[in-house]
Structure 1
Amino acid sequence: MIDLYTWATPNGRKVSIALEEMGLPYEAHAIDITKDEQFDPAFLKIAPNNKIPAIVDRDNGLTLMESGAILIYLAEKSGKLLPTEPVARMKTLEWLMWQMGGFGPMLGQAHQYLKFNKGKAPFAEERFAKEVRRLYGVLDTQLGREQYVAGEYSIADLSIWPWASRHEWQEISLHDFPNVKRWYVELAGREAVQKGYHVPKFTQDIPMP
C-alpha cells in the first residue's frame, strides 16, 4: 500500500495518474498548499523540501519525495510503464529528465508571470512565453515521430501530460501543436488519467482543446 501526499497540481497528478495506471493500491492524503500544509512538521519528515508529491510505501517503510524519483520507483515496483530493455529504458528516462529539468520548471514560471502576475514584469512574460512555445515545439516534433513521447506509453508521458493540461494558463493553444493535441486528447480519454486527475479532490474537468 502506498500513502500518497498530494494536491491538485501537475506534479501531484503525475503520481496519482501513475498509481491508477499501474493498478497499485494507494491512499491519498490531501496536503493543501494554499494553507501552507506542506510546512507541517509531520509532512516535513516525509518530504524535507516541503513540496508535494511525496509517498510512503507501507510495504518497506520507504519515504520518497520528488515526482520523477517517485515515478521511477513506482514503475520498478509495479513492473509497468518503464521498459526493461536498456535503450528503450534510457529513452524513457531521457524524456522524463526533459520534463523535470525544462518543461515543468519553465511552465511553472510561465504560470507565475502569464496567469498570476500579468503585467508586472513584461520582460519575464516575454521570456517565459517564448520558452514555453519552444518547449511545446520540441514536444510536437517528438510526437510527430512517435505515438507516445518515448515510443511506448510510459512514465515519460505521465510526467509531461499534467503540465500540458494547464495549457490555458500558459497561453498555449494546442491547435498550434497538432501532434501534442492528438497525444493530449488520447491520454485525456484514458480512464486512469481521468481518475488520477481528480486526486485528491475534484477541482475542474480536464481542460480540452
Structure 2
Amino acid sequence: MIELHYWPTPNGHKITLFLEETALPYMIKPVNIGKGEQFEPAFLKISPNNRMPAIVDTAPADGGEPISVFESGAILQYLAKKTGRFLPADVRGQTTVMEWLFWQVGGLGPMLGQNHHFNRYAPEKIPYAIDRYERETRRLYGVLDKRLTEGEFIAGKDYSIADMAAYPWTVSYEDQGINLDEFPQVKRWFTHIRDREATKRAYAIGDTIKGKMDARTDEEARRNLFQR
C-alpha cells in the first residue's frame, strides 16, 4: 500500500497521475498546506523540507520496514522502479526520461512557480520579476515544443514519468501568459494527456479533496504557504 501525503497542487498531481495509471493500491492522506499541516512533526518525519507530496510504501520490494520518499521527482522514480511502468528498462531510454524529469524539477516547475507567485500571489506587483519569469516561462515552453517535434511524448514514443512531471505545471498555461496555439506540439501533447482517463480521475480526486476551499484568499493561509 502506498500512503500518499497530498494536496492538489502541480507537484501533488504528478503522483496521482502515476497512481491512477497503475493498479498499485494507495490511500491519500491530505496535507492541507493552507492550514500549515506541512509543518506538523509527523509530516516532517517523512518530508523534512516541509513540502508535499511525500509517500510511505508500507510494502517495499525488499520486504523490510516501510520506506518513505519525499520530493516529487524522487517519488515518481521510486514508483516507476517499483512497478516497472513508465520508465524504460534500457539504459538509453531510461537516461532520456531522467534528463527530462530533472529538466522539469530543476527548471519548468520552479520557473513557472515563480511566474504564478509574482503574477497572482505577491503582495505587490514587481514589473521586473513578472517580466523575468514570464520570459523564462515562454522560453521553457519553446524548449518543450521543440522537443516534442521528435516524438509523441517528451522522452519519445511512450508516455513516461517525464510527461507526468511536466503536465501538471502546464495546466495553468493561461495564468502563465501562454497561448498554446503558439506552441502547437505542446498543445497536441497537452490535449493527449488531458484526455487520458487516468488524468481525469487524478484531477477529480484533487477537486474532491480541495472542495470549495481556496486557501489563497486567507491571510493566515498565505503565511503558511509562503512563510511570510
TM-score, normalising length: structure 2:
0.86
Show the counterpart of 2:195: 189
Q: Deviations over 1:109-137 (max 9, x none)?
A: 00001222386210000100000000000
Q: Deviations over 1:171-206 (max 9, x none)?
A: 1111111110111011011011111123344359xx
Show the counterpart of 1:161: 167
Is structure 2 residue 144 aligned with structure 1 residue 116? no
CA distance in 2, matches of 1:80, 1:58: 19
Matches within 5 A, 1:58-69: 58-60=58-60, 61-69=66-74
CA distance in 1, matches of 2:59, 2:91: 28
Where 1:35 maps in the other structure, the secondary structure is coil
Where 1:64 maps in the other structure, the secondary structure is strand
Where 1:34 maps in the other structure, the secondary structure is coil
The offset of 1:87, in angstroms, is: 0.4
Is structure 2 residue 48 aligned with structure 1 residue 42? no
- The one-letter amino acid of 2:148's match is L
Q: Does the 8 Å contact 1:5/1:54 carry over to 2?
A: yes
2:149 to 121, 141, 144: 144
Show the counterpart of 2:28: 28
Show the counterpart of 2:19: 19
> Unpaired segments of 5 or more residues in structure 2?
61-65, 212-228
- The one-letter amino acid of 1:194's match is K
Q: Does the 8 Å contact 1:7/1:199 carry over to 2?
A: no
Q: Does the 8 Å contact 1:96/1:155 carry over to 2?
A: yes
CA distance in 1, matches of 2:48, 2:205: 22
CA distance in 1, matches of 2:13, 2:204: 8
Where 1:198 maps in the other structure, the secondary structure is helix
Report the number of matched residues. Answer: 204
Q: Deviations over 1:142-170 (max 9, x none)?
A: 11111000002100000000000111221
